């Protein structure tokens, strides 16, 4: 509940390097994950991350948590964050809300994919 009541890294990032977007037409949740990437030699690190989520408390909490989990990670490390990592970090989610953690990890992977495509 803390990540719902006091979300971390919430808000649009105007100078994002990439924006991941996912939605669930069944429940109506919509998530945007914004990333800023810093190149450290050949390594690319998530230097800044934020989110905008339109949805339920679980959707907001999972979006907040994934930003905390991904900040400072390499793109490879961040892309490996799973729904279980998110749910465990939130001390669990009701089974009916596990799809929210899927959305959050999918949105981050979408942002990473778009960043890599843009760099090519």
Tell which phi-psi region holds residue 87, choosing left (phi > 0), alpha (psi between -120 and 50) or beta: alpha
Which listed residue (10, 21, 23, 27) is catalytic? 27
Whether 56 is a known active-site residue: answer no
Which listed residue (100, 103, 111, 112) is catalytic? 100
Catalytic sites, residue numbers: 27, 100
């Amino acid at each position: 509940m803390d990540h719902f009541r006091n979300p971390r890294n919430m808000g649009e990032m105007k100078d994002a390097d990439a924006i991941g977007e996912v939605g669930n037409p069944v429940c109506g949740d919509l998530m945007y994950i914004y990333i800023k990437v810093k190149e450290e030699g050949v390594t690319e690190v998530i230097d800044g991350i934020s989110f905008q989520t339109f949805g339920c408390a679980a959707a907001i909490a999972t979006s907040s948590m994934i930003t905390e989990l991904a900040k400072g990670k390499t793109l490879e490390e961040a892309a490996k964050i799973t729904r279980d990592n998110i749910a465990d970090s939130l001390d669990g989610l009701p089974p009916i809300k596990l799809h929210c953690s899927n959305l959050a990890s999918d949105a981050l992977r979408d942002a990473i994919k778009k960043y890599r495509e843009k760099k090519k």
